[in-house]
C-alpha cells in the first residue's frame, strides 16, 4: 500500500472545476511537491487528501483510509500545516505542543520537538509575538506531536524572508532524513528543486507535468541553445548556410540556435564569423524549471524567453 | 465520544489565553463593576448624604410664646431628620424665582398663619417644590409627608388628651427603602448584562475569526471535537460569570448597601445564561460569511437585549409595546429570574424563568452545534 493513491479526483465549486480528474501516487519516504500558480487546485487537492474537504469524484486513499469518511482515524496518523498557519494568540509554542500532546493523548518531550524545528529560543513567547518564520515552525512542531508517518505542508514558506525559508528547508530535510513521507505545495520553484524528489505541476485543475525536476525539464524544456545578439539578416544568413535550427526574436534582437550537440555551437559561430556581419554578446543556456513552468501553466508564449529566465550556463564574450 | 480530558485540556489553554489578554479581562470582570459603581452612584447617591431643601417660612408671628410657633418647630424637626437639611430663605424673596436663580428644585413654603391654624384645628397647606425627574424630590416629598403625618397625629393626641402612644408612627425610612430599590434592581440587571455581553461578543469574534484564519480546520485535525471545543468555552464563561457575580454583589452590598438575597436559585441562571449566550455567539459567528458581518449581526442581536431586557431600567418603567417586545429577548428571562430570586423572593416566578431559559438554551445549543462546521464540503 502506498501512502497516497489518488485517481480521477474531481472537485468543483459551482461552475469552477477546481480539480478536474487528476491521478498520482506518492511513495513511502518521498517528498512530493504540488506546484502551480494560485488557483491551480493545489490547496483543494491537499485539503481533500487531509480530509478537510469532500471530493466530488474519483478515488483517494491516504494511508489506506478514505480521508473524508475516516477523517477522525486518519488525523491521528498524519501531520498537517495549513496555509498561513495561525494559533491561539496568547499561547506559547511550548504550551501549544503540550496542548496537542494532551489532545492526541501521547507523551512527548516538548523541548525535543522545539529543537527539531529550531524553535528553542522562542519556546516561551506568545504566538502573536512570533515572527512569520517562527509561526510556521510552531505549525511544523505541532504537526510532529503525534509522530506522523505522513506530513502535509501547504505552502510552508509563503511570505517568509529568505533566511526563514532556508531554516524551514533545513527542518524539512531533517524530517525527510528520518524517513517521513511529505506532501508539499509551493509556488516557489527553487523550493521544489531544493526539497522534492518528485513534483506534479498543476494548472486549471489538471496535472500538466509530473516527475523529477530533471525529467520535467528534459521532457518539456527546449534543451540547450546558443543565443547570439544580432539582427534578422544574420539569422537569415545562418539559416541559409548551416543545417542548424535557427529562430529570431525580433523584440530582443536575439538569434536562438538549438544545440543538438555541443559542436553545433562552433558551426554556428564559424558561420556568423564568415558572414562578415556585426554580432554582439553570445551565451549558451538551458530551460530552467522556471522556464518550463511558465511554458506549461500559462498560455503558450509566442516570443520565447519573454518569461523571466534563469541562466544556467553562460559564457559571456564580447567581440 | 465526548472526552472530559480533552475538554479540560482545551479549557486550560483557553482560560490561560483569556487571562493573558488584558482587554478580555477588563470587559469580563472590571467593566460590569465600573457600571455598578457609576449607575449606583448616579441613582443611589441621595441615600448616602442629606438632601438640601430651601424653606420659606411666611408664618412670622408674632407668637405669645415660642411653644406656639409651630411652623418653626416643624422646620426644625425636618432639619433634624436623617434625610433633609433645611436652608432658610427670607420671606421677602420671590420663592420660585429664588429656586431657579439658585438652580435648585427642592423647596417648601410654610404659609402665614400656619401655627394659628394648626392649633385651631384648621386645615393648613404646605407647598412642596420639586422636580419629578430628580431622584431627590422623592426623598423630599416622602420626608415632608411623613413629618406632616406625625404632626397631624400629634395634634389629635394633644387635642383629645389621648395618653396612649400613637398607633402609627411614620419615619423617613419609607423614602430610603424606595431609593435603594434601584441599586437592588441594578445588581441583577448588570449581572444579566455581563452574562450576555462577555460570552456573546467573545464567541461571535472567536468563531468568525477562527473560521477566517482556518484555525477551526487546524483543530479539526486533532482529536478535539467541536462539541468539546464549545463545552470548554461554556465552562470558562460560567467560571467568569460566577467570578463577576461575586464581584458585583460584593461591590453593590459594600458600596451601596444593596439588599439582595443570595439563594441556590441563582445557580441555574449563572450556568444556563453563559451557556446560552456562548452558543448564540457561536451561532452568529458560524452562519455569517466573515468577521465583519458577524460583528454587525452580533450587535443587532445583542444591543436590544443590552438595554431592553431589564438590565439598566426596570421593564415595568417601559411602554407596553416594549414590555411585550422584551419577552422575546432571551436575556429577559435571565434578568427577570435574577430579580425574582434576589430581590422579590418570588420562587415560583424563578422556576418558570429557569424552565423558559432552559428550553431556549437547549434550542440555541443544538442549532449552533448542528450548523457549526469544522470542515467544509
Q: In this predicted model, what pLDDT tens digit does every residue of B196-214 receive, in sequence order? A: 999 999 999 999 999 888 8
CA distance B326 to chain A (A): 37
- Which of the residues B13, B15, B22, B213 would you substitute to probe the A interface, choosing the one with the greatest number of A C-beta atoms within 10 Å? B13
**SS3 of B62-85:** CCCCHHHCHHHHHHHHHHHCCCEE
Q: Please judge whether B213 and A100 are an interchain contact, meaning their C-beta atoms are less than 8 angstroms apart.
A: no
Higher pLDDT, B143 or B285: B285
Query: Cβ contacts (< 8 Å) between A75 and chain B: which residues?
Result: 220-223
User: Of chain A residues 31-60, which have a CB less than 8 A from chain B?
Assistant: 47, 50-54
pTM of the model: 0.71
Angle between helices A132-144 and A93-104 (to 10 degrees): 20
Q: Please judge whether B20 and A84 are an interchain contact, meaning their C-beta atoms are less than 8 angstroms apart.
A: no
- Which of the residues A90, A94, A146 would you substitute to probe the B interface, choosing the one with the greatest number of B C-beta atoms within 10 Å? A90
Q: Please judge whether B9 and A54 are an interchain contact, meaning their C-beta atoms are less than 8 angstroms apart.
A: no
Query: What's the pLDDT tens digit per position in B207-258?
Result: 999 988 889 888 989 999 888 999 999 999 999 999 999 999 998 888 887 8
Q: Is the alpha carbon torsion for A306, A309, A315, A319 positive or negative? A: positive
- Which of the residues A48, A55, A102 would you substitute to probe the B interface, choosing the one with the greatest number of B C-beta atoms within 10 Å? A102
Query: Cβ contacts (< 8 Å) between A51 and chain B: which residues?
Result: 375
Alpha helices by DSSP H, listed for A178-263, are 189-195, 213-220, 232-241
Q: Please judge whether B223 and A53 are an interchain contact, meaning their C-beta atoms are less than 8 angstroms apart.
A: no
Backbone phi, then psi, for A61, in 5-degree steps?
Answer: -125, 125
Query: What's the pLDDT tens digit per position in B97-151?
Result: 888 888 777 888 888 888 888 888 778 888 888 776 666 777 777 777 777 777 7
Residue of A nearest to B376 (CA): A53
In B, what residues contact A, Cβ < 8 A?
A: 5-6, 9-10, 12-14, 16-18, 20-21, 213-215, 217-218, 220-224, 375-377
Q: Please judge whether B214 and A72 are an interchain contact, meaning their C-beta atoms are less than 8 angstroms apart.
A: no
Q: Please judge whether A84 and B214 are an interchain contact, meaning their C-beta atoms are less than 8 angstroms apart.
A: yes
Query: Cβ contacts (< 8 Å) between B227 and chain A: which residues?
Result: none
**Spatial separation of the C-alpha atoms in residues B5 and B11, rounded to whole Å:** 10
User: Of chain A residues 69-88, which have a CB less than 8 A from chain B?
Assistant: 71-72, 75-76, 78, 80, 82-88
Burial class (CB in 10 A: 0-12, 13-18, 19+), A3: buried
**Spatial separation of the C-alpha atoms in residues A49 and A66, rounded to whole Å:** 9
Write the residue in A76, A83, A89 that is nearest to B223 by C-beta.
Answer: A76
Q: Please judge whether B221 and A102 are an interchain contact, meaning their C-beta atoms are less than 8 angstroms apart.
A: no
The predicted model gives B70-81 an average pLDDT of 84
Write the residue in B14, B221, B376 that is nearest to A53 by C-beta.
Answer: B376
Higher pLDDT, B72 or B142: B72
- Delimit the CATH 3.40.1710 region(s) of chain B: 49-171
C-alpha cell belonging to residue A235: 539569422
In the prediction, which pLDDT does B161 show?
Answer: 61
The number of beta carbons lying within 10 Å of the beta carbon of residue B106 is 23
In the prediction, which pLDDT does B176 show?
Answer: 33
- Which of the residues A52, A87, A151 would you substitute to probe the B interface, choosing the one with the greatest number of B C-beta atoms within 10 Å? A52
**Structural domains in chain A, sorted by start:** 4-218 (3.40.50.300), 221-297 (3.30.70.100)
Query: Cβ contacts (< 8 Å) between A76 and chain B: which residues?
Result: 223
CB-based contact, A104 to chain B, within 8 Å: yes
CA distances from residue A298 to A13, A70, A158, A201, A255 in whole angstroms, order as listed: 22, 37, 21, 12, 24
- Which of the residues B222, B224, B227 would you substitute to probe the A interface, choosing the one with the greatest number of A C-beta atoms within 10 Å? B222
CATH 3.40.1710 describes domain B49-171: yes
The residue assigned the cell 430579580 is B339
Write the residue in B5, B16, B218 that is nearest to A82 by C-beta.
Answer: B218
Q: Please judge whether A75 and B220 are an interchain contact, meaning their C-beta atoms are less than 8 angstroms apart.
A: yes
Residue of A nearest to B15 (CA): A90
Is the complex ipTM higher than 0.90? no
Question: Which string of b and e fits A105-134 if b means at least 16 CB within 10 Å?
Answer: eeebebeebbebbbbeebbebbbeebeebb
Query: What's the pLDDT tens digit per position in B361-371?
Result: 999 999 998 88
Describe the strand order of the beta sheet including A31-35 as a list of residue ranges: A78-81, A150-154, A181-186, A31-35, A198-203, A206-211
User: Of chain A residues 266-305, which have a CB less than 8 A from chain B?
Assistant: none
In the prediction, which pLDDT does B8 show?
Answer: 94
Query: Cβ contacts (< 8 Å) between B202 and chain A: which residues?
Result: none
In the prediction, which pLDDT does B376 show?
Answer: 63
Write the residue in A86, A100, A104 that is nearest to B215 by C-beta.
Answer: A86
Query: Cβ contacts (< 8 Å) between B18 and chain A: which residues?
Result: 90
The predicted model gives B177-193 an average pLDDT of 73
Q: Please judge whether B221 and A80 are an interchain contact, meaning their C-beta atoms are less than 8 angstroms apart.
A: yes
Write the residue in B17, B218, B222 that is nearest to A90 by C-beta.
Answer: B17
Burial class (CB in 10 A: 0-12, 13-18, 19+), B112: middle
* Mean pLDDT of all residues belonging to chain B: 83
Q: What is the pLDDT along chain A (319 residues), one digit of tens a residue?
A: 899 999 999 999 888 889 999 999 999 999 999 998 888 888 899 999 999 899 999 999 999 999 999 888 899 999 998 888 899 999 999 999 999 999 999 999 999 999 888 888 889 999 999 988 889 889 989 998 998 999 999 988 887 888 888 888 988 998 899 999 999 998 888 888 889 999 999 988 999 989 998 888 888 877 788 889 988 889 999 888 888 888 888 888 889 888 888 888 888 898 888 888 888 888 888 888 888 888 888 644 333 333 333 333 333 333 3
CA distances from residue A232 to A25, A224, A236, B114 in whole angstroms, order as listed: 48, 21, 6, 125
Query: What's the pLDDT tens digit per position in A225-240?
Result: 888 998 888 999 988 8
Chains A–B, number of C-beta pairs less than 8 Å apart:
75
Query: What's the pLDDT tens digit per position in A185-201?
Result: 988 888 888 899 999 99
In the prediction, which pLDDT does A109 show?
Answer: 93
Query: Cβ contacts (< 8 Å) between B20 and chain A: which residues?
Result: 90, 126
Query: Cβ contacts (< 8 Å) between A83 and chain B: which residues?
Result: 214
Amino acid at each position: 500500500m502506498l501512502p497516497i493513491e489518488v485517481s480521477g479526483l474531481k472537485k468543483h465549486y459551482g461552475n469552477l472545476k477546481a480539480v478536474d480528474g487528476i491521478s498520482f501516487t506518492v511513495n513511502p519516504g518521498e517528498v512530493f511537491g504540488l506546484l502551480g500558480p494560485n488557483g491551480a487546485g493545489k490547496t483543494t487537492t491537499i485539503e481533500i487528501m487531509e480530509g478537510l474537504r469532500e471530493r466530488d469524484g474519483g478515488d483517494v486513499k491516504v494511508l489506506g483510509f478514505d480521508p473524508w469518511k475516516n477523517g477522525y482515524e486518519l488525523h491521528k496518523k498524519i501531520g498537517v500545516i495549513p496555509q498561513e498557519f495561525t494559533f491561539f494568540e496568547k499561547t506559547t509554542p511550548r504550551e501549544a505542543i503540550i496542548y496537542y500532546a494532551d489532545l492526541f493523548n501521547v507523551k512527548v518531550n516538548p523541548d525535543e520537538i522545539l529543537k527539531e524545528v529550531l524553535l528553542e529560543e522562542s519556546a516561551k513567547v506568545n504566538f502573536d509575538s512570533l515572527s512569520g518564520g517562527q509561526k510556521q515552525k510552531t505549525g511544523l512542531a505541532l504537526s510532529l506531536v503525534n509522530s506522523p508517518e505522513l506530513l502535509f505542508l501547504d505552502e510552508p514558506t509563503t511570505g517568509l524572508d529568505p533566511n526563514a525559508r532556508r531554516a524551514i528547508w533545513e527542518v524539512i530535510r531533517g524530517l525527510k532524513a528520518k524517513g517521513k513521507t511529505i506532501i508539499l505545495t509551493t509556488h516557489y520553484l527553487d523550493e521544489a528543486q531544493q526539497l522534492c524528489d518528485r513534483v506534479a505541476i498543476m494548472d486549471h485543475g489538471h496535472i500538466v507535468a509530473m516527475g523529477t525536476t530533471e525529467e520535467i525539464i528534459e521532457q518539456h524544456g527546449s534543451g540547450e541553445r546558443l543565443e547570439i545578439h544580432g539582427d534578422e539578416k544574420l539569422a537569415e544568413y545562418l539559416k541559409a548556410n548551416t543545417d542548424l535550427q535557427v529562430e529570431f526574436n525580433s523584440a530582443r534582437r536575439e538569434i536562438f540556435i538549438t544545440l543538438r550537440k555541443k559542436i553545433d555551437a562552433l558551426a554556428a559561430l564559424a558561420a556568423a564569423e564568415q558572414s562578415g556581419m556585426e554580432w554582439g554578446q553570445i551565451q549558451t543556456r538551458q530551460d530552467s524549471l522556471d522556464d518550463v513552468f511558465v511554458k506549461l501553466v500559462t498560455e503558450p508564449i509566442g516570443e520565447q524567453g519573454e518569461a523571466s529566465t534563469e541562466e544556467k550556463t553562460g559564457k559571456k564574450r564580447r567581440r | 465520544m465526548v472526552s472530559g480530558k480533552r475538554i479540560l485540556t482545551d479549557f486550560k489553554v483557553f482560560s490561560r489565553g483569556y487571562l493573558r489578554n488584558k482587554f478580555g479581562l477588563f470587559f469580563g470582570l472590571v467593566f460590569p463593576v465600573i457600571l455598578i459603581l457609576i449607575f449606583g452612584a448616579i441613582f443611589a447617591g441621595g441615600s448616602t448624604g442629606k438632601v438640601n431643601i430651601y424653606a420659606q417660612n411666611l408664618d412670622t408671628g408674632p407668637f405669645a410664646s415660642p411653644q406656639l410657633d409651630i411652623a418653626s418647630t416643624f422646620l426644625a424637626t425636618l432639619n433634624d431628620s436623617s434625610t433633609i437639611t433645611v436652608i432658610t430663605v427670607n420671606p421677602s424673596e420671590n420663592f420660585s424665582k429664588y429656586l431657579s436663580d439658585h438652580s435648585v428644585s427642592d423647596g417648601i413654603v410654610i404659609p402665614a398663619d400656619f401655627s394659628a391654624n394648626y392649633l385651631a384645628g384648621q386645615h393648613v397647606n404646605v407647598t412642596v417644590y420639586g422636580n419629578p425627574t430628580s431622584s431627590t424630590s422623592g426623598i423630599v416629598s416622602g420626608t415632608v409627608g411623613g413629618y406632616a403625618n406625625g404632626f397631624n397625629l400629634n395634634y389629635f393626641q394633644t387635642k383629645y388628651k389621648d395618653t396612649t402612644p400613637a398607633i402609627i408612627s411614620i419615619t423617613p425610612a419609607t423614602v430610603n427603602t424606595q431609593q435603594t430599590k434601584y441599586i437592588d434592581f441594578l445588581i441583577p440587571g448588570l449581572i444579566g448584562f455581563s452574562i450576555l455581553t462577555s460570552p456573546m461578543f467573545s464567541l461571535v469574534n472567536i468563531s468568525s475569526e477562527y473560521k477566517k484564519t482556518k484555525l477551526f480546520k487546524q483543530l479539526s485535525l486533532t482529536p478535539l471535537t467541536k462539541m468539546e471545543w464549545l463545552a470548554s468555552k461554556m465552562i470558562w464563561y460560567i467560571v467568569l460569570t460566577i467570578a463577576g457575580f461575586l464581584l458585583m454583589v460584593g461591590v453593590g452590598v459594600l458600596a451601596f448597601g444593596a439588599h439582595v438575597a443570595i439563594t441556590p436559585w441563582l445557580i441555574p441562571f449563572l450556568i444556563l445564561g453563559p451557556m446560552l449566550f456562548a452558543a448564540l455567539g457561536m451561532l452568529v459567528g458560524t452562519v455569517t460569511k466573515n468577521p465583519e458581518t458577524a460583528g454587525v449581526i452580533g450587535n443587532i442581536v445583542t444591543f436590544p437585549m443590552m438595554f431592553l431586557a431589564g438590565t439598566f431600567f426596570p421593564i415595568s418603567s417601559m411602554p407596553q409595546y416594549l414590555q411585550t417586545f422584551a419577552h422575546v429577548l432571551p436575556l429577559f428571562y435571565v434578568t427577570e429570574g435574577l430579580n425574582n430570586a434576589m430581590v422579590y423572593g418570588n420562587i415560583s416566578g424563578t422556576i418558570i424563568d429557569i424552565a423558559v431559559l432552559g428550553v431556549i438554551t437547549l434550542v440555541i445549543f443544538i442549532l449552533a452545534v448542528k450548523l457549526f462546521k469544522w470542515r467544509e464540503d
